[in-house]
Amino acid sequence: MGTELYQGIVDSIVKGEARASEIGERIVLPSSFIGGARDMRLQSEYKLKTPDQFDKFVCSKIPDETKHPELYKLVVKHMMHRPCGEKNKNNSCMIDGNCKYYYPREFCEQTTQAKEGYPTYRRRRDNKTVQVRNAHLNNQ
């Protein structure tokens, strides 16, 4: 992922935060997020449709803290799913012992297009972890 793209994501997250403070609701996804305002305005021909296209714009990975410190801080603060499952069975996402958002996800070498239209993103097993609340989380 190039620096400009990282900067675009940082800008989007920062804008999202500014907007969130105005309406009193936390919004942390960039507006280009699938289903987001920008995404909905895109012409069909520009929509991401293949695993290669998703990989160009979406990255389910903890950023490099040295190369992209600002992005790293924003992702750790806003984009990580709270510890759940075995690490926190009482998180609000837990229903009947399972995370309703399917976290933690499996590590996965390649992005694939699922039948229902949602991609399964590549999740690297890179041994990187970050502390979120009382747990160490990785790219899952």
Binding site for Zn ion (CB under 5 A): 84, 93, 99, 103
Query: Closest distance between Zn ion and the C-beta of residue 103, in Å?
Result: 4
Which of 15/136 has CB closer to Zn ion?
A: 136
> Least distance in Å: CB of 92 to Zn ion?
8
Amino acid at 103: Y
**Residue 57 or 102 with smaller CB distance to Zn ion:** 102
Which three-class secondary structure state does DSSP give residue 83?
coil
Q: What whole-number distance in Å separates Cα of residue 102 and Cα of residue 123?
A: 14
To Zn ion, the closest distance from the beta carbon of 104 in angstroms equals 8
- Show Cβ contacts of residue 112 under 8 Å, excluding neighbours closer than 6 positions: 51, 119, 120
Nearer to Zn ion, 31 or 91 (CB): 91
Alpha helices, DSSP H, located in 42-140: 51-57, 69-74
